[in-house]
Structure 1
């Protein structure tokens, strides 16, 4: 365990609310501790009631919407301390995150930090609207919100399938100046560090050690040159970071928003740093599309068969893709959870179990 990683505190309770995701899932049975969106609305004290029948409305006009991106609200509680709220990514646009925050009635004034996983606009696109919304709804005495960012912000990133012509570029990520103008406090970190009072680990550069996880084949980046600029191939997005929380008696809960570095590389790094089992893997596993289909079998095999102990739950979201979800469900059964926007997950710490005594192996 590294010196900085040893500063991570185990939490007694972790609550996760999925604020933005590609999917909405209302019908599937979920494991204990997972709560669908609809009952959260129907059981809320402010639920709108039908005066005719006396039954709560299923008020679809004010429920969550799906969007191509990711955002999760992470609430951590260490025994004897107040809960801390951290927002991991902000979705792709200015509208979905605000609609969903309002639908879920999230306490924006208590969110003290945004962790941006990497500079792609489907993860950074809602940041400015969130900061604007928070400033409008927080009391004047509320502390400012920190934007935890990798310092290497690109000028532009684009998509060039099969390494050919660039067919499009992503929208601009927010600038440091735009964040500060809305009251955000910019912190740049290329190295791993703990936040939320020591309860959340934000990784540094993710080591690329597997032979089958080759980054983003279609990735390109605009680079300025003397007299102009050009697109250059960028398969490895080295600014990508994951977040991890250690829950007492259960192990690591890992947030990997896109897994451009490869989810196996992410898991290997986390286990090597903390020598803890992995309880839950959450986020986009970036296995969608024809370019990445060959990575599905070795990824699923690793998560299901090579990790010891295997993760209790894998929540494949955002850019994982249908084929990979099917393969994970086949391999993991109920351990593959169809999590989606609006869901809440509560992970309660338990006394240290036999699962904790022996160090995990990652192959």
Structure 2
């Protein structure tokens, strides 16, 4: 099994490049760093000559956008850190601004993993590739990882996807077109197509295959449709596609802590995602990160059983849940009520560091799920 071959990491660092929210002041657990602290402590801000105080230059701060992107840095002791970009946000501007704001070393990113074909996750991909390509043209660039960057994609790229609450004949809008394979290759992206589970980043990051749909109330993205036909002749039709079967999650196993799960949008259902991770890895869950897709009014009835599962059905419960992107206010409030400080208000610009512990690792046991 692929899961048996994953390497437990000694250190995991996550930087949230794109999310719907910005969080500057909320109390965060140990290991979490606000964007303001990063700018003041690491980016040598300009100092007002009169007051002597460093200036918070908001022109250089991150912006939020409806989408998701996380930079995942994994390290095993004695090896070089591996940088993997998980999703790229919805469009070209937010990821470009936030990469510049956080001074991300794009030339060190060796792989982009796209969770699924929706433009709020793929829309910044070409922008990222342009930024990375330009970085190598800079004479001051340190070419840590020159040349092509791997772009890890599900092979089933749709012509178009849309939303039709009243059925396929009543499409109210479609998402922007996902990047084409040839566009990616023109910007030095080396495409790898994966429909099955696999390991990347020197075997420190797991990317899932098809997520089993077993939870009764998790019924996909209601009203989702897909254009099926011939792109060149412009002939085709909209068909129902609520399950979004190309969606994949990623995870990292931190020594002495357990699994850190990245579920960018959870169209498959976060309960299905967590179940699959526990079944495959038989490890406790340290963090659940990403969009839980519980925001729209037609999904309100999924909030209570989802929260109950994360808080009460998994033992031990996840140490932290970071509800982001498409989770929605009502679901976040319910998670905070159930988990207390275990529900973390993460957002764009926040950095998370998880340090492994070899001694604790010896005492970790497999989690259990009650039905």
Q: TM-score, normalised by structure 1?
A: 0.97
- SS of structure 1 residue aligned to 2:151: strand
The answer to whether 1:347 aligns with 2:354 is yes
Aligned to 1:270: 277
Q: Distance in 1 between matches of 2:243 and 2:256?
A: 35
* Aligned partners of 2:256 and 2:364 also within 8 Å: no
Q: Distance in 1 between matches of 2:88 and 2:11?
A: 23
* Aligned partners of 1:11 and 1:199 also within 8 Å: yes
Aligned to 1:197: 202
* Aligned partners of 1:193 and 1:201 also within 8 Å: yes
User: Gaps (5+ residues) in structure 1?
Assistant: none
* Aligned partners of 2:257 and 2:361 also within 8 Å: no
Which of 172, 176, 189 does residue 177 from structure 2 map onto? 172
* Cα distance change on mapping 1:152 and 1:127 into 2, 3 Å: same
Which of 5, 12, 17 does residue 10 from structure 2 map onto? 12
Q: Distance in 1 between matches of 2:313 and 2:22?
A: 31
Q: Distance in 2 between matches of 1:143 and 1:71?
A: 22
- SS of structure 2 residue aligned to 1:142: coil
- Higher mean C-alpha displacement, 91-100 vs 353-362: 353-362
Aligned to 1:325: 332
Q: Distance in 1 between matches of 2:190 and 2:72?
A: 19
**1:235 Cα offset (Å):** 0.6
- Higher mean C-alpha displacement, 123-132 vs 135-144: 135-144
**1:49 Cα offset (Å):** 1.5
**1:79 Cα offset (Å):** 1.2
- SS of structure 1 residue aligned to 2:92: coil
Q: Distance in 1 between matches of 2:112 and 2:18?
A: 14
**1:46 Cα offset (Å):** 2.6
Aligned to 1:54: 52
**1:163 Cα offset (Å):** 3.1
* Aligned partners of 2:284 and 2:365 also within 8 Å: no
Aligned to 1:94: 92
Q: Distance in 1 between matches of 2:242 and 2:359?
A: 41
**1:228 Cα offset (Å):** 2.4
Matches within 5 A, 1:139-288: 139=141, 142-163=146-167, 165-224=170-229, 228-288=235-295
Q: Distance in 2 between matches of 1:201 and 1:357?
A: 20
User: Gaps (5+ residues) in structure 2?
Assistant: none
Q: Deviations over 1:99-154 (max 9, x none)?
A: 00000001000000000000000000000010001000125671421100000000
* Aligned partners of 1:90 and 1:127 also within 8 Å: yes
RMSD of the TM alignment (CA)? 1.4
Q: Distance in 2 between matches of 1:171 and 1:304?
A: 36
- SS of structure 1 residue aligned to 2:152: strand
Aligned to 2:121: 123
Aligned to 2:73: 75
**1:353 Cα offset (Å):** 2.9
Aligned to 2:311: 304
Aligned to 1:337: 344
Q: Distance in 2 between matches of 1:195 and 1:354?
A: 23
Count of residue pairs brought into register by the alignment: 361
**1:352 Cα offset (Å):** 4.5
* Aligned partners of 1:23 and 1:341 also within 8 Å: yes
**1:359 Cα offset (Å):** 1.4
**1:354 Cα offset (Å):** 7.6
* Aligned partners of 1:6 and 1:274 also within 8 Å: yes
- SS of structure 2 residue aligned to 1:106: coil
* Aligned partners of 2:89 and 2:124 also within 8 Å: yes
* Cα distance change on mapping 1:283 and 1:84 into 2, 3 Å: same
* Aligned partners of 1:215 and 1:260 also within 8 Å: yes
Q: Deviations over 1:297-336 (max 9, x none)?
A: 0000000000011000000000000000000000000000
**1:196 Cα offset (Å):** 0.2
